[in-house]
Amino acid sequence: MYCAVVDPEHDSVNGRKRSQRPQRTHHEVADELRARIRSGALRPGARMPTQAQLAHEFGVERGAVRQALRILQSERLLTNVSKGSPATVAPDPVGPLTGPEAPPLPTTVALAPRIATAFGAEHVEIDAVCLTSISLTLAIGEPLRQIHAGRLKPAKVDVRVLLPSRDIDLAFPVPVEGGGDDWVHERWLAMRNAQGQVLQHNLLALRATHGIDVHVTFRALPFTPPVKLYLLNGTEALFAYYTLTRREAEADHEQPALYDAQGTQSVLFSFEQGAGLRDTTFVEQSHLWFNALWETISSELVLTS
């Protein structure tokens, strides 16, 4: 369930009021500072408040501030992050997020800002092919916060998600030694359903809270997708490989070693329509591929165990 509390009142370099929230996590601090940078409240090249000032503003320890600043540095929004002088907003904090010049970044870094940008459209359209939808569920949190804060207001949102069917033998995750994988399948199925339900609930709630026309639909694939794909507003495609790794046995839980993929860490490659023949063709072909799966071999998916 999306439970983040958006409090637009905060102490800042722009003279806003300080939040009355007694404590925030480093992720929440990073979210707020990220929003200020993207909104232009903190401009490229500007020096950030000191870590002591940020710690006082957000009511957190300096360690939490340092963690938040490191997150923004990893996203190329800040430079000069250290224990000494204040950090600096990157000269080009957004940078080339799409097209041939876009740097490939892990899903946890790259997806949320692109989803948030997509929600700036009047009609938001998101199609996704993935294993559990956990990355999409996490990334949706950013535009939801901006909607609740009044910074975004789409009129309509359509989301379509293709996930593996519960009735297939998954290619991964699977035990290294083979056999006895019922518990692995059940754990994956529980995660698939839980993440899908959270995604669906959080988006459909926008109908009641903000009057947005929202539709969220899932369909089941008869195979395990070896890649993840996100298509945004018909103009952008984000693509990543699921790279398998061996997860060692957990003795305390009597669980064997697994071959599994860390989807949240998969590196996303970005393609944008109009950024050249290669990008435009990739986006178009990705849409054709997705729609063909959606309309032919996929089946109705109900998110229950």
Structure confidence by residue, pLDDT tens digits, 174-223: 988 876 678 889 999 999 999 999 999 999 999 999 999 999 999 999 99
So what's the pLDDT on residue 43?
84
Amino acid letter for position 43 = R
Q: Tell me: pLDDT of 280 over 50.
A: yes
Q: Tell me: pLDDT of 252 over 70.
A: no
So what's the pLDDT on residue 5?
33
The C-alpha atoms of residue 150 and residue 181 are separated, in whole angstroms, by 46
Q: What is the percentage of the chain residues whose pLDDT exceeds 90?
A: 48
Angle at 88 between CA 87 and CA 90, to 5 degrees: 135
So what's the pLDDT on residue 101?
61
So what's the pLDDT on residue 45?
85
Helices (H), the chain: 26-39, 51-58, 62-74, 107-118, 134-148, 182-210, 277-295
Q: Which long-range contacts (CB under 8 A, 24 or more apart) does 150-153 make?
A: 150/8, 151/35, 151/39, 152/116, 152/119, 152/120, 153/210, 153/212
Q: Is residue 107 very low, low, confident or very high in pLDDT (cuts 50, 70, 90)? A: confident
Q: Is residue 40 very low, low, confident or very high in pLDDT (cuts 50, 70, 90)? A: confident
Q: Tell me: pLDDT of 156 over 70.
A: yes
So what's the pLDDT on residue 159?
98
Q: Tell me: pLDDT of 7 over 80.
A: no
Q: Is residue 3 very low, low, confident or very high in pLDDT (cuts 50, 70, 90)? A: very low
Q: Tell me: pLDDT of 19 over 80.
A: no
Mean pLDDT, residues 103-108: 81
Mean pLDDT, residues 166-179: 88
Q: Which residue has the tokens 């009129």?
A: 155
Q: Tell me: pLDDT of 238 over 90.
A: yes
Q: What is the mean pLDDT of the chain?
A: 84
So what's the pLDDT on residue 21?
44
Helix (H) or strand (E) holding 229: strand 227-232
So what's the pLDDT on residue 287?
97
The C-alpha atoms of residue 182 and residue 223 are separated, in whole angstroms, by 17
So what's the pLDDT on residue 23?
67
Q: Tell me: pLDDT of 102 over 50.
A: yes
Q: Which long-range contacts (CB under 8 A, 24 or more apart) does 54-59 make?
A: 54/29, 56/11, 57/10, 57/11, 57/12, 57/18, 57/19, 58/10, 58/19, 58/24, 58/28, 58/29, 58/32, 59/19, 59/21, 59/22, 59/23, 59/24
Q: Is residue 16 very low, low, confident or very high in pLDDT (cuts 50, 70, 90)? A: very low
**Lowest-confidence segment of 68-72, 120-124, 142-146, 296-300 by average pLDDT:** 68-72
So what's the pLDDT on residue 78?
87
**Lowest-confidence segment of 82-91, 207-216, 220-229, 289-298 by average pLDDT:** 82-91
Helix (H) or strand (E) holding 238: strand 236-241
Sheet containing 174-175: order of strands? 174-175, 258-261, 244-247
The C-alpha atoms of residue 81 and residue 48 are separated, in whole angstroms, by 10
So what's the pLDDT on residue 170?
93
So what's the pLDDT on residue 235?
94
So what's the pLDDT on residue 168?
94
